[in-house]
Structure 1
Amino acid sequence: MANRPWKPVTAGKCCTVEDHVVIGNLSRCRPSRADFSKKLAELTSFRRLKSSSELSSPGSARFNGDSIEESGRFGAGLYAFQLNELRAITHDFSNNYLLGEGGFGTVHKGYIDDKMRPGLKAQAVAVKLLDTDGLQGHREWLAEVIFLGQFRHPHLVKLIGYCCENEERLLVYEYMPRGSLENHLFRRLSSSTLPWGTRLKIAIGAAKGLAFLHGAEKPVIYRDFKTSNILLDSDYSAKLSDFGLAKMGPEGEDTHVSTRVMGTHGYAAPEYVMTGHLTTRSDVYSFGVVLLELLTGRRALDKTRGKAEEKLVDWSRPYLTSSRRLRCIMDPRLSGQYSVKGTREVAALALMCISSNPKDRPRMPAVVEILERLQHLKDMAVTTGVWSSKAASPIVGRNAISAKTKMERENLANGRRRVVSAKLA
Structure 2
Amino acid sequence: MDNVIVCVVQQKMRLPADLADFESELRRFLRVAQAKGAQLIVFPELAGMMAAPPLLNGLRAGLLKQADRGRQSRVNFWERARSKMAAGTAGLLGSDFQRELGRLLDQNSQTLWDSYAELFGRLAQEVSATIVAGSLYTVDSVDGGIRNVATVFGPQGAVLGQQSRVVMAGENAALAEAGDGWGAISTPVGRIGLLLGSDVLYPETGRILAYQGAEMLISLGACTEPALYHRLRAGLLARVQENQLYGAISFTVGYNPFTPGETEPFIGRSAICAPLEFTNRYTGIMAEVGAETTEGILTAAWDFAALRQLWEAGAVPVRRTIPLAIAAPILTSIYQRGAGQLPSPSDAVTPLSLPAPTEASEDISPPATPEAPAALDSRPTNPDRPVSLDDLPVMASSEAPLEPLAEEVLEGTSEPATEQEPAKPRRWPWQR
The two structures share one fold, judged by TM-score above 0.5: no
Q: Computing the radius of gyration over CA atoms, which structure comes out larger, 1 or 2?
A: 1
Larger strand proportion of the pair: 2
Give the TM-score normalised by structure 2.
0.27
Give the TM-score normalised by structure 1.
0.28
